[in-house]
Structure 1
Amino acid sequence: MQITSSLVPFVSVLWMTVFSPVGCKANPISCRMLAEPQMPVFSMNGDFIIGGIFTIHYFTNAGQNTYTKLPPQLQCTGSMDFRQLHFARAMEFAIREINNRTDLLPGITLGYQIYDSCSDVQMAIKAGFQFENGLDPAFNETSSCYKSVAAAVPAVVGDSASTPSISLARTLGVFGIPQVSYYATCACLSDKREFPTFFRTVPSDEHQAAALARMVKYLGWIWIGAVRSDTDYGNYGMATFLKAAQEEGICVEYSEAYFRTQPRSKLEKVANVIRRSTARVIVAFVQAGDMPLLLDELAREPPPPLQWIGTSWIINANLLRYNICAGALGFGVPRSVIPGLREFLLDLSPAQASKSSILTEFWESSFSCSLKGRTGVRQCDGSEDIRALQNPYTDTSQLRNTNLVYEATYAIAHALHGVICNETECAKTIKVSPWQIFNQLKRVNFTTNNGYQVNFDSNGDPAAAFELINWQFKKDGALDIVTVGYFDSSKPRGQEFRMSSAISWVGGQTEMTVSVCSESCPPGTRKAVQKGRPVCCYDCIPCAEGEISNKTDSVDCVHCPPEFWPNIKQDICLPKPVEFLSWDDTLGITLTVFSITGAFMSVCVTAVFYKHRTSPIVRANNSELSFLLLFSLTLCFLCSLTFIGQPSEWSCMLRHTVFGITFVLCISCVLGKTIVVLMAFRATLPGSNVMKWFGPPQQRLSVLAFTLIQVIICVLWLKISPPFPLKNLRHHKERIILECGLGSAIGFWAVLGYIGFLALLCFIFAFLARKLPDNFNEAKFITFSMLIFCAVWITFIPAYISSPGKFTVAVEIFAILASSFGLIICIFAPKCFIIVFRPEHNTKKHLMGKVHSKAL
C-alpha cells in the first residue's frame, strides 16, 4: 500500500501535465486545467461523495479536429440505453435510502457523482482522474502542481462493460480507490496483482462460462458456433468458455468476433459465417450494445433457425423485440425486489426532467416531444404520463443487475461505516483514505434490506448463483424473459442444475434443437474421427467381427468373451451355439439308421450262417472265424453310435477305444481267414505239414494276440493321456464345436496305425491268394474288401483333418460304416447268395471244382 500511495503525486503531476495543465506559477492558484472537466450526469453534495459510472450511451463523437486549436472534448452520442439509466438512478435511490437510515452511517450524508462512460475507454479514464482530482479546474497549492493524497471520492460504483472497467480499474488502482462493479464480468478482473482494488457484485465470467459449458453438454449439444464482442469482455469470456467446452467434449465449428465500431464488412463476414454453418446452436459472448447490430444484419437474410445461448444480453429487455432469438437460453443473476424503487423512478415530472440534460433526453426520447422548445418538434405540454411508459427504465419486474447496483452501493456504505463509525457515533471530519475503504470492503458481510447476502472472496468476487433464463412467447405474441431453472456452482458436479419449468426452444417449439456435426453412432458401431476435423465430426464404423459396442457413440468396440459371439446388430454378446452331432440331427439320424442297418445285416448273416452251419460253404470258410468276424462287424456297426450325441468324459474314452479294439478284432479275423486260405493251399503240396500250425487253436490264439496288442495300446492311451470333452473355439469363430480332444495324439495315431498295419498285411496275404484254384476262392473277396477298407481309411485322414465341426465326427462314422459295409458285403454277400438263392451250388463237389457251373 505504501509503494502504491507513493505513486500518487507522480500520477497526479503526470495527468496534469499530459492531459491539460498549463504550467505552474509561484503564486496561489498556480495551476489550472486547460480543458473543462466532464460534468456528471447526476450529482448530489454530501459529507462523503461516492462515485458512479454507467454506460448510458454506446457511442462518442470527437468532433472535427482542425489542428489549429485544442481538439474538442468527446461527447456521448447515439440513442440512450434506458436500462443503464435505470441502473444509475438505482444508485441514487440506494444513497437516498442510506441517508434516511439511522443504523447505517447515522448523522452522515452521502453524496454522489455519476458519470456516463459511453462504453468508451477514454471517457472512463477521464472520469477516473476526476474521481481522484475532483471537478475544480484550479489547484490551490503554492509550492507544487499536485494535490494531496486524499481522493475526491473514497470509492466508485461501476463501470458496466468490462473493457472500460479494466481501464478504470488500472487508473483507480494506482490511487488505491476501490471500485465495485455491478456488471463487468471479465474473469481477468479477478487478478488481484493487476487489479488490486477491484470488487464486483456480479459473478465472474469464469463461473458463467463454466455454467454455460455444462448447460450445453447437459442439453446434449456438442456442435456449436461461437460469436463474441471484440472486447476484453468478449475475448476473455469466450476463451474461458472454449476451455470449459473442450473439457466437456464440446466442439466449436467457428469462433467469430466483431465490435460495433468496426467496418460493416466485418459484421457481414460474421453473419455469413453463421448462415453457412451447420451448427444449430450459437453461443454469443456479446455485449448488449453490440448484439442489435448482429441481429439486424442476420435479419436481412435470415439463417436457419438457431438456438441462441446468451450471456449478459439475455436479461436485456431492449432485445426482446428480436423474434429471431425466440427460445434463447442463458444465465442471469437472480431476480429481486427493491421496495420503493419503482415509486422513486416514476417520481419524475417534466419540470424535474428539464433540470437534468440526461433526464431531458430521456423524457424527449420517451414521449417524442421537446422540453426545450426545439423547432419542428412537438412541445411537451405536461400531459405525458410516465406511469404509462413500457420501457426498461420503468420496468421493475426483472430487477437483476439493478439489485447488484443496490448491493454495490450498500457495500461501499458499510465499508465507510466501518472506517468512520464506532458503536455510538460517526465522525464527519475524519479524513478518509481510499485504502481504508478498500481494506474494509474486503471484510464486509451484511444482508441488504431485500434479503441478499453481500460479501467478497479473496479475489473480490461474490458467490456464483444464476437463474436459467429462457425467452418465451407470451399470449400476445411478444417475447418475455422467463426463469426456467437455477444453477448453483457450490453444488456437487451433476447436481448444479435445478429445473423449475419447461423450456421453450427455437421459435417457441416444444422439441429441443439438435446440433451435431455427425449423427450419433448406434450400438454396434464405433466412432472414427474424420481427418482434419474436430473430434465431434466422425464416421460410424461397424465393429469388427467378434466385437460389439453396447452404447451410443462408443469410441471403441470390445471383444466378446471366448464363448460368446455378437448378435446381428453387434450390440450384445450372446452365448455361441454349441454344435455336435446330435441324435435329432438329420445327419445323426441318417448315420444311426445306417449303423443299425449294418448291425442288423450282421445279425441276419449270422442267423443264415448258423442255420446252414453244416453246409459245405460255411464249413469250407472256417465257420468259427466267420462267426467271430460277424460278431466283430456287429460291434463295429454299433460302435459308431458312440460318436453320436454330446461328448462326455466317458463317451470320449469309449468311442475311440471300442472303435480301435473292435476293428482290430475284425481285421484279425479277416487276417486269420486269409492266412488259413493261403496255408491250406500250401498244405496240399506233397510233404507239406504246414496246417498243423494253423489249426483252430492257433487261429483263436492269433486273433486274441492281435487284439490284445490293440487293447494294450488303448490302455496305455487311457492311462497316460485319455481323450476328453473339448470346446473347440479355434476353428469356428461364431460357434462352439463340442468334440473329443485326442488327449495323446500319439495314442490315437498308434491305434489307427495298428489297424492300418493289420489291414495292409491282410491285403497282401489276400492278394497272394487271389488266384488259388478253388471254385469259390474267399481270398478274392477278402482282397476286394481290404482294398475298399484301405481306400476308405486312406481318404479318411485328409477328410478328417479338413472337415469342420460336427462333420469331423460324421467323417469318422462314415469311415467306420463304409469299411464295415465293405467287409460284410465283399466277404459274406457271395456266400449268402449261394446259400439262399443257389443252394445247388452249396455242395462239396461244386466247391472242389468237380462240377462246372455258370459264372455268377
Structure 2
Amino acid sequence: PSFSYPVYSAVYAIAHALHKVLQCGTAGCNNIIVYPNMVLAEIQKSNFTLLNRTVLFDENGVLRSGLFSLVFWNSSGDAEEVGLYSFYPTVTFFINISKINWHTDGEVPASVCSPECSKGYARIQNRIHKCCFTCEICPAGTYVNVEENPYKCVLCKSTEWSEEGSTSCNLRQLEYIQLTDTVAIAIMVTTWVIVGLTLSVSVLFSINYNTPVVRSAGGPMCFLILGCLGLCSISVFFHFGLPTPASCILRYFPFIWFYTVCLACFVVRSFQIVCIFKISAKFPSLLIWWKKYHGQWLLISAAFVVQAVLLLTFSYDPPRPYNETSWRPEQIVLFCYMNLKATSCSLVLPISLACLCFVFSYMAKDLPKNYNEAKAITFSLLLLTFTWTIFITVYMLYRGKYIQTLNAVTVLLSLYYFLVGYFLPKCYIILFQPNKNTQQYFQSL
C-alpha cells in the first residue's frame, strides 16, 4: 500500500495553518513571530481537499476525514493491507481476517499490557498508561468497586466489615446480652434469691435480736451488712440489656459504694474479735477509747463518706456505652467502658479494707470455736480473692459479649460468699440448734 497520502495531508495541514497565521494574501505574508500553539489552533480548524479527499477536524480538534489503511506485517516482513478505516462521508471500518496470519499458530494474541485483576483485587498503575498495572488484593476492612474506581481499595464504614479480597462490605452484627437471654434470666433470678435471703435473714435476726448468736454476729451491724448486700445486688440487673449512660453508672456505682461499707463492717467485726481476746490485755486504753467514742461506727461512717467522695471521680470520666469494633471484625460488641485511671481511686479503698480485714480475721483464727466469725470471714475473703483473680485473668484474655455475664456472676458470688459464709451458719443455729443459742453455751469456752 501507499503511505504518501498521510504525509501529504500532514504537510498541507501545516501549510494551510501557517498561511492563516501569517495572514498571507496575494501581496505576501506578514512578518510576525509564529508560536506552536498558534499553528495547532489553526490546524484544528483545517478544512481542505487533497487528492479528492476532504481533510476536516471537529470542534475538539479530532480528525473527521481521511482514509486509513490497516496493515499487517506478515512473516516475510512485508506490510500487507488487511483493512481500511474511513471518516468521510460515513465512518467505515473493515478488516479482512482471512489475510491475517498470527504468529501464535492462528490464535489471536492478547493485546493488553496487563491481564484483568481477579475479584477483590485493585489495580496498581505502574506505568503512564492505565492499561499497565499490577493487581493487589484489598485487605480486610476494605473493598474495591471495579465499576466506580478499580484502582483504589475503599475503607468500610465503622458499622461494616469485609474479608480480604472483597467487592463490598457487610453490616456488622450488634452483640450484647439481652434481658431475654437464658443466662441473663438465670442470673437475675439468682439475684432475686439473694434479695429474698437477705430479707429473710434480716427478719429472722430482728426476731432473735437479743439472742447470743445475733449479738455475737454484730448486733445492729448485721442489719447494715445485710442492707448493703441487698443494695449491691442492684448492680447485677444493669449488666444486661442495651447499655445506656444511666445503666453503665448503676452497673458499677452501687456495688463499689455499698460493698466498701460492707467490707468496713467486716473489718470492724474482725478487729473487735481480735481486740477482745488479744489486744485488750496489752492495750486496755485502746479498748476503752474504742467503746467510748464508738470506734466501729466512726470507721464505717468514714469509709462511707470517703468512698462517696472518691466516687466523684466518676464525674471526670463516667462509665459510658461503648461500641467495641476491634475484637471481632464481623461484630460490634456493646458494653460499658470504664476508665480505670479515672476510677482507680474508688477501687483503692475496698481493696485496702479487704486486705485489712483478712489480716485481722487471720489473727483470730485460733480463737474459741464459739467465736468462729473470724474463720468465716477469712474463708469468704479467700473465695472473694480467688473469684476476682479469675475474672481479671479472663477479662484480659477473652474478647466478647460474655465478659459482661462473667462480671455479673463475679459480683453475685461476692455477695453470696458473705451471706452464705457468715450469716447462714448462724441462721442454722437459730432454727435447728437452739441449744447453742444460749448464754451458757457461749460461756462454756
Q: What TM-score comes out, normalization by structure 1 length?
A: 0.41
Instruction: State the distance in 1 between where 2:206 and 2:63 align.
Output: 100
Partner of 1:769: 364
Whether 1:826 and 2:432 are equivalent positions in the alignment is no
- Paired with 1:566 and 1:816, the residues of 2 have a C-alpha distance of 37
Kindly state the Cα deviation for residue 757 of structure 1 after the two structures are TM-superposed.
0.4
Partner Cα separation in structure 2 for residue 516 and residue 583 of structure 1: 63
Q: Work out whether 1:190 is the aligned partner of 2:17.
A: no
> 8 Å contact 1:801–1:808 — kept in the other structure?
no
- Do the aligned partners of residues 673 and 194 (structure 1) sit closer, same or farther apart at CA in structure 2, a change above 3 Å counting? closer
Mapping for residues 528-547 of structure 1, pairs under 5 Å: 542-547=137-142
CA–CA distance in 2 between the matches of 1:687 and 1:202? 127
Deviation of residue 193 (structure 1)?
7.6
The Cα of 1:633 is off from its aligned counterpart by 1.2
Cα offsets for 1:672-691 (capped at 9, x unmatched): 21122222324874994654
Q: Which residue of 2 aligns with 1:602?
A: 198
* Paired letter, 1:646: L
Contact 2:271 2:360 in 1 (8 A): yes
Structure 2: distance between partners of 1:705 and 1:194? 102
- Deviation, 1:697, is 4.4
Deviation at 1:266, TM superposition (A): 4.5
Once the two structures are superposed, what CA deviation does each residue of 1:641-690 show, in whole Å capped at 9, x if it has no partner? Answer: 22322222222233222221011011111112112222232487499465
Residue 516 of structure 1 contacts residue 536 of structure 1 at CA under 8 Å; is this kept in 2?
no
| Offset, 1:569 | 7.9
**Whole-angstrom distance in 1 between the partners of 2:150 and 2:283:** 93
Query: 2-side partners of 1:669 and 1:204: how far apart?
Result: 106
Does 2:333 correspond to 1:560?
no
Tell whether the 8 Å contact from 1:723 to 1:742 is kept in structure 2 after alignment.
Answer: yes
Does the 8 Å contact 2:314/2:343 carry over to 1?
no
Give 1:582's aligned residue: 178
How many equivalent residue pairs? 394
Give the letter aligned to residue 466 of structure 1.
V
Partner of 2:384, secondary structure, is: helix
Query: Counterparts of 1:607 and 1:187 in 2: how far apart (Å)?
Result: 114
User: Can you list the C-alpha shifts for 1:63-96, whole angstroms capped at 9, x where unaligned?
Assistant: xxxxxxxxxxxxxxxxxxxxxxxxxxxxxxxxxx
> 2:370 aligns to what SS in structure 1?
coil
Partners of 2:384 and 2:206 in 1: how far apart? Answer: 26
Unaligned runs of 5+ in 1: 1-160, 167-183, 213-231, 239-255, 259-263, 268-284, 292-309, 313-330, 335-464, 472-512, 851-856
- Residues 202, 584 of structure 1: alpha-carbon distance in 2 compared, 3 angstrom cutoff: farther
Contact 2:320 2:338 in 1 (8 A): yes
Cα shift at 1:561? 2.5
| Structure with bigger gyration radius | 1
CA contact (8 A) 1:596 1:638 kept: no
Q: In 1, distance between residues paired with 2:195 and 2:52?
A: 101
After superposition, the Cα gap between the structure-2 partners of 1:713 and 1:265, relative to the gap in structure 1 and judged at 3 Å, is: same
Deviations for 1:593-641, whole angstroms, at most 9, x for unmatched residues? 3333333332333333334333321122112111211111122222122
**What SS does the corresponding residue of 2:210 show, helix, strand or coil?**
coil
Residues 620-659 of structure 1: matches in 2 within 5 Å?
Answer: 620-659=216-255
Matched position secondary structure for 2:150 = coil
Q: Secondary structure at the match of 1:738?
A: strand
Determine helix, strand or coil for the equivalent of 1:549: strand
Unpaired runs of at least 5, structure 2: 17-47, 97-107
Q: CA RMSD in A?
A: 4.0
In 2, Cα distance between the equivalents of 1:544 and 1:803?
A: 25
Paired residues for 1:271-310 under 5 Å:
287=81, 291=82, 310=83
Task: Give TM-score scaled by structure 2 length.
Answer: 0.74
Asked whether the 8 Å contact 1:726–1:738 carries over to 2, the reply is yes
Identify which of 757, 766, 779 aligns with 2:374: 779
The structure with higher relative contact order (CA 8 Å, sep 6+) is 2
Aligned-pair identity in percent equals 24
C-alpha separation in 1, matches of 2:52 and 2:227: 106
Distance 1:188 1:592 in 2: 95
Q: Does the CA-based 8 Å contact 1:625-1:672 persist in structure 2? A: no
Q: Deviations for 1:124-166, whole angstroms, at most 9, x for unmatched residues?
A: xxxxxxxxxxxxxxxxxxxxxxxxxxxxxxxxxxxxx543xx2
**What is residue 428 of structure 1 aligned with on the other side?**
none
1:123 aligns to what?
none
* Aligned counterparts of 1:817 and 1:188: Cα–Cα separation in 2: 97
Larger mean Cα displacement after TM superposition, 622-631 or 638-647: 638-647
Evaluate the alpha carbon distance shift between residue 615 and residue 594 of structure 1 in structure 2; reply closer, same or farther with a 3 A threshold. same
Q: Tell me: CA distance 1:200–1:770, structure 2 relative to 1, closer, same or farther (3 Å).
A: farther
1:235-250 matches, cutoff 5 A:
none
Q: What per-residue deviation string (whole Å, max 9, x for no partner) do you get for residues 557-600 of structure 1?
A: 11113332237983333443333333234443343333333333
Q: 2:305 aligns with which of 708, 718, 735?
A: 708
Question: Residue 84 of structure 2 aligns with which residue?
Answer: 311
